Amino acid sequence: MDYSNLTSEEKVSTLTNAVAYSTPEEIREIYKNLGEVEFTARALAIACRYRGLEHVKALVECGATFDYERSGRIHAAYDCEEVNFSLSLINFNGKNDENLFAQVFFTEGKPVLGDNLSLKGGKKLPVLPLKQRVEIVEYLCENGKSACLDAGTLLYYSILKKSFTMADALKKSGAVIPDECKKVLSEGGSGIPKGMDRWYEYSNIIYSMKIDDFLRVCEYFCAELDGKPLHFTEVIYAGIGSVNFYDPELFEFFLNHFNQSKMNKTRILNVIIKNNLISDLAIAAEAGWLKQPRKRDEMIAFASEGGYTEVSAWLLDYKNRTADLAAEQKKAEKKMMRELNAAPDSVSELKKVWSYKKREDGTLVITSYKGNKTEISVPAKIGKEAVTAIGTYAFSPCAPRRTQEQADNRGQIQKITLPDSIKVIEENAFYWCKELEEINVPDGMTEICNGTFTNCGIKKMMLPDSVKRIGESAFWGCDSMTSVNIPESVTEIGKQAFGACTALKEIEVPGSVEKISSWVFQHCSALEKVIIHEGVAEIGREVFSNCTALNELELPASIKKITNYRHPKNDMLTPFYQIPDLTLIVAPKSYAEKYCKRNELAYKVKES
């Protein structure tokens, strides 16, 4: 065969097919005749998963590598954007891991990655036994540095996918989980490049695990974290289920392996008390959950008022055994006198409630709320300086630097009143304030930053005309919010900005917003009415996916681009995925009409 006139794409296709059909000796000869091949990762992945060590050696010795140029041209030519092809070495199944692993090896109806590699003529290649794939990993770790195997990332996913034999082989070869993955495991995804994507990926996988698998994966990861505990969130709590979480042995496991500061201790203690789980109560007390007299006495009052007599007796006995009652009384009296004698608006008193620092312009930014009220008014001034900004995580129960008491108090905040002096609210300022129902956005605010109101109990939101940008995940998970306006001043709406707002019924997107970014209204299951004004030019990936109540949507003539996403199972997902009864209204001869025809979507042409 004459290889001299082949295009780059034809060379890649020739090499990939050679791996599937040819012997190692034939691969070497073909590779030699092809010369330089710009993309070899897919061919190497097929050899690792389906063919065997000799095929891998043939490729690596000829120069094949898992690495490839990260560019738009390469991604488009080979359907490989952000694909880690070395993951072909570990176990997975398409049902649970389609977003993570099941990237196409061939496109347009040709063979795809799965339990078997389908070849022309109906022939199938089964996945190599685990023992053979472990041998390949050992070879790549010892001899295949030129193949650019990311052993650390492979170790991370081997543990996550319960491929412990593979994980042990990688650790024996010196592999270490990358620092970025360690941070995701111990801190969650916030503040880490691509961290939230990896955190969602990790959460979704462990969410569906059986309890025994979950515990073993956690133990493996803890051994890699240099003594740091695993990050704990509501996703972990919900995924494990209350029956499992409150089993005494498992409860103790969670306290020993996860970051307790991220746990909603008040809620957990309330559940323990209501269900008379004295063994769990003893475990919590041993972990220091009742060390603070205020928290201890709150639980005693809760148990007593609820008529939980057995738990009340245990708590009272615990108090008698551990408390220095005289010292506590003296301390309480001193505190009461200080509060009686202090002016509530003095700087000294405000410092007890607010942490703050000066900005470059001499005004103040609130960096942390330290109080315990459920309804809060932010001061317009502290001393002589005006308060003009709310800092990152200032009210968030999930802030990286706060006490458990602060987290508990912030988790109960219901209303916040901001003064007109506020011009800036920084990222994640009210992140996960689940009980927050009411807050005002002052005139003059130009931006709702990333994650500002993620997972708040906000019911209605009125944005002033000064707002120009709504950041990524700004209102994600606000599942009580029934209405929100997007002013005509807004020119940008970030990804997932209103995702999972499951009570939101109507939304209007002004023409000033040129692009509706990916996932902006994803999982808004109550959304019935959407108005998109002329001027909007682009609709991003899966914008309205799972908006199941949406029956009709008019697309303006100004639309020039609608982004699809190729599903790992080779399905093409439109921005209107999983909306069974949707009919799109389009202008005659518009881009939107052509798009609907091309993607076989139900539509009607708007009358002139």
Lowest mean pLDDT across 12-26, 137-151, 282-296, 331-345? 331-345
Give the pLDDT band of residue 181 (cuts 50, 70, 90): very high
Give the pLDDT band of residue 203 (cuts 50, 70, 90): confident
Residue 539 has pLDDT above 50, yes or no: yes
Give the pLDDT band of residue 107 (cuts 50, 70, 90): very low
Mean pLDDT of 501-517: 96
Find the helix or strand (DSSP H, E) in which 117 lies.
Answer: strand 116-118
Share of the chain above pLDDT 70, in %: 91
Q: Average pLDDT of the chain?
A: 89
Residue 94: what pLDDT?
47
Looking at residue 432, its amino acid is W
Return d(Cα 418, Cα 424) in angstroms, integer.
Answer: 11
Residue 114: what pLDDT?
52
Find the helix or strand (DSSP H, E) in which 450 lies.
Answer: none
Return d(Cα 264, Cα 6) in angstroms, integer.
Answer: 62
CA dihedral 240, 246, 248, 253 (to 10 degrees): 40
Residue 65 has pLDDT above 90, yes or no: yes
Give the pLDDT band of residue 344 (cuts 50, 70, 90): low
Give the pLDDT band of residue 62 (cuts 50, 70, 90): very high
Mean pLDDT of 263-271: 93
Lowest mean pLDDT across 362-366, 400-404, 410-414, 525-529? 400-404
Lowest mean pLDDT across 348-352, 479-483, 498-502, 525-529? 348-352
Return d(Cα 137, Cα 153) in angstroms, integer.
Answer: 13
Radius of gyration of the chain (CA): 29
Q: What is the DSSP letter of 228?
A: P
- Could you read off the pLDDT of 273-330 as tens digits, one per residue? 999 999 999 999 999 999 998 899 999 999 999 999 999 999 999 999 887 777 777 7
Counting every residue, how long is the chain? 608
Mean pLDDT of 421-431: 95
Return d(Cα 93, Cα 114) in angstroms, integer.
Answer: 7
Return d(Cα 459, Cα 496) in angstroms, integer.
Answer: 18
Pairing relationship of beta strands 354-358 and 603-605 according to DSSP bridges: unpaired
Residue 457: what pLDDT?
80
Distances (CA, A) of 113 to 51, 66, 174: 13, 16, 29
Residue 98: what pLDDT?
42
Cβ contact 514:537 at 8 Å: yes
Residue 104: what pLDDT?
37
Residue 100: what pLDDT?
46
Residue 109 has pLDDT above 60, yes or no: no
Cβ contact 299:282 at 8 Å: no
Return d(Cα 352, Cα 409) in angstroms, integer.
Answer: 14
Name the phi and psi angles at 358, rounded to 5. -80, 145
Residue 99 has pLDDT above 60, yes or no: no
Residue 112: what pLDDT?
43
Residue 266: what pLDDT?
93
Share of the chain above pLDDT 90, in %: 71
Return d(Cα 90, Cα 49) in angstroms, integer.
Answer: 8
Residue 484: what pLDDT?
96
User: Please, which residues have CB within 8 angstroms of residue 193's CB and are 6 or more apart in sequence?
Assistant: 180
Residue 354 has pLDDT above 90, yes or no: yes
Residue 101 has pLDDT above 50, yes or no: no
Residue 499 has pLDDT above 50, yes or no: yes
Residue 249 has pLDDT above 60, yes or no: yes
Looking at residue 234, its amino acid is E
Mean pLDDT of 150-176: 94
Positive or negative torsion for Cα 30, 32, 36, 42: positive
